[in-house]
Amino acid sequence: MSALEQKLVTWFQHPAVQAHNWDVGLFWEAIDHRHPFGRLKIEPRELEVLFATLVEEPSECIAELNAESQARGDYMLRGDFLAANASRHELPLLTRVYVS
């Protein structure tokens, strides 16, 4: 598990994230019933921005997501969009990671 993935697991268990009552299965594909934090289903940088906003920690991924959005010419920068949604306690549509 990468350092980013470990941080996401830790932040998912933070009271500010747990207050949303999101099931772990929204974000991770379980290994088995004893190990719910298996493979991420969601783009980890996006989840990092969402969780960072909720736990009131600086995001290490927001600038990278914003730079990619700006290069594509997106209407709104992706990192800013995710942070704004999290600030309103909304769960935006996150990018799914397809693993074969």
* Tens-digit pLDDT profile for residues 65-76: 999 999 999 999
Q: Taking the model in full, what pTM does it have? A: 0.92
Confidence of residue 33 (pLDDT cuts 50, 70, 90): confident
Rounded Cα gap, residues 62 and 66, in angstroms: 6
The dihedral sign for the CA sequence 92, 95, 99, 100: positive
Place of tokens 């969780």: 51
**How does pLDDT run across 41-66, given as a tens digit for each residue?**
999 999 999 999 999 999 999 999 99
Per-residue pLDDT tens for 80-95? 999 999 999 999 999 9
